[in-house]
Structure 1
């Protein structure tokens, strides 16, 4: 008999607890073993019930979800799916939860809660299933500067950059293209904090709903030497900048003369995703070609794998995150299976390898001048 995924629901709303319990118990492969209305009760239930996955509300009485998550990850690390509110504050708190080690999150509708959660049922159970098999990632330990803020040590930022390179000479023609899903917010951060101010332009699709990419971009911008922002339709793609696909939109690259330009539009989902890595990577293959560097990071499914092979066939040099360092080895596995990878590396080696490659290209350029 198949072992069911044992889920503990933690939420201060009786309605949400009831709805989530019902959604989970309808699945043949999972069961809700308990529901707690605050973290202190949840702590006792975790000890008694030993769940496989927790769904955790962000805002609760007595102890908020973030404080509880931080303590849980220190004392009894386990897979957590956050249930977040679709507000600016909710998005910021959700980014913090992902930093602390939450596997993923579901954005709770602001109106029509009962019908909204039922509409999200398939997304909720999919994310619980992924969390149950996800590789647990202990949160990284950046240097704390002030309450609620972090910086990455300067030594860590500069460590990956090769000396005496000429990256700046290349930055207008080259482009770095990144795709990610589950576990990707922290993986993207690990790449971007090592990129120097004269980095080529970076374009990124991370599967994320509307409202959350603004907070994600702002958090990254506060940590990086490069400028990180949400992509805006029609803007020029510039060196020293990273552009993140806005949640709920498709993001691709176009050309206007010698310049790269962002296209952000209300197009249909691709591979069930909006934004989709497939859309971005296909445009990079067509518009950037051999001047592109592709990076496929942790994520569920196969979004972008075929397009990454297209990038490879057009001359792109591609890096794929290895299984050991992925939270979920779905999209990287598919990229490798499609023959899209030039190098398969641990997450903490990708930025250094990319910068060394860019440096070598700069040296070749210098030799021709």
Structure 2
């Protein structure tokens, strides 16, 4: 049985969520009405996974999450709104330590709960199997045990000062144009932080990112990364020319397609293709790029995420002469997408997330 704690201030939402997981047949469910009550319940229930609303009285979801990750670390799935404010709060929650999030559909929740149910159950089941890295925020947990409350984990983001670049390999053609393609899903935003903040402003190739997210979340994600990175980060909401020194975030609930216009590479926000399960589709992004860029001038990076999006396309890319990196099981929140790439023998290299940026710099000078 999976022990689930549902933290939600709405009595109706608690009832509906309880019905959803009771119907699954393998959940033991406990409830809390706010963050303060959740901290009392969690110490006795010891849940395998928590669903946590962001907006609650007395103690909101972010403050509660911070305490959970310091005092009783366990997998947490945030329940947020589809607003821009909800997106920014959700990204902050992922930085603090939440495993994943589910966005409430608009309108009356009692009428749209069926739309939410399959994805919610899938996310909670996967989160319940996640092993929280004991090293994460260890210093803060030690200080908490020794001297009481510590400062909140989330601080204002500032532009990162990248590490010195490795010396250029004189055998490598510095004028060669290429493209970096990154795909990620569950656990992706913190992984993107770790990889992209390591890159200097003069990084030689454009970088295109497909992160599975709703449309209202990818703009805030791009703005957040832009504050963190030396490179310029923007969301692709319309056709845009791909240029070095830039990171392009695919718009959520759509697909991103790489094409060529007047001799230049462009990224296009395309309607999501129902032939692909996840969006923005990593598979579609990679396959479109292979039509316009030689495989030897492409680097594909597949990081944490459930499912297998991007694995088949990146395996084909590697077989055609491209270079691919899979995040290691040791650091991935969910080793679904990168694990499938490894299973297909499509990974040129397997790296811990904190080492991917350096590996990319070594490959692209």
Q: What TM-score do the two structures reach when normalised by structure 2?
A: 0.90
Contact 1:293–1:318 (CA<8 Å) still a contact in 2? yes
Which runs of structure 2 are paired with 1:326-341 in the superposition (5 Å)?
326-341=332-347
SS in 2 for 1:118: helix
Contact 2:95–2:154 (CA<8 Å) still a contact in 1? no
Aligned residue number for residue 363 of structure 1 = none
SS in 2 for 1:340: coil
Aligned residue number for residue 22 of structure 1 = 19
Alignment partner of 2:81 out of 50, 64, 85: 85
Aligned residue number for residue 105 of structure 2 = 109
- State the alpha-carbon separation in 2 of the partners of residues 295 and 135 from structure 1: 23
Contact 1:135–1:326 (CA<8 Å) still a contact in 2? no
- State the alpha-carbon separation in 1 of the partners of residues 242 and 138 from structure 2: 30
Deviation readout 1:177-208 (Å, 9 max, x if unpaired):
00111111111111110111111100011111
Aligned residue number for residue 287 of structure 2 = 282
**4+ residue segments displaced more than 3 Å:** 163-166, 168-172
Contact 1:172–1:238 (CA<8 Å) still a contact in 2? no
Residue 139 and residue 299 in structure 1: after superposition, are their counterparts in 2 closer, same or farther (change >3 A)?
Answer: farther
Aligned residue number for residue 151 of structure 1 = 158
Deviation readout 1:331-363 (Å, 9 max, x if unpaired):
11111122211111111111111111223xxxx
Residue 26 and residue 147 in structure 1: after superposition, are their counterparts in 2 closer, same or farther (change >3 A)?
Answer: closer
Structure 2: 5+ residue stretches without partners: 140-150
Alignment partner of 2:61 out of 58, 65, 80: 65
Which runs of structure 2 are paired with 1:1-369 in the superposition (5 Å)?
4-32=1-29, 34-137=30-133, 138=136, 148-151=155-158, 154=161, 157-159=162-164, 161-164=165-168, 170=174, 173-199=177-203, 200-288=205-293, 289-359=295-365
Contact 2:160–2:230 (CA<8 Å) still a contact in 1? no
- State the alpha-carbon separation in 1 of the partners of residues 175 and 48 from structure 2: 46
Deviation readout 1:267-303 (Å, 9 max, x if unpaired):
3234421211111111122222221111010111111
Structure 1: 5+ residue stretches without partners: 360-369
Q: What TM-score do the two structures reach when normalised by structure 1?
A: 0.89
Deviation readout 1:72-125 (Å, 9 max, x if unpaired):
111111100000011111100000000011000000123121122221101111
- Give the deviation of 1:147 after TM superposition: 8.1
- State the alpha-carbon separation in 2 of the partners of residues 236 and 152 from structure 1: 24
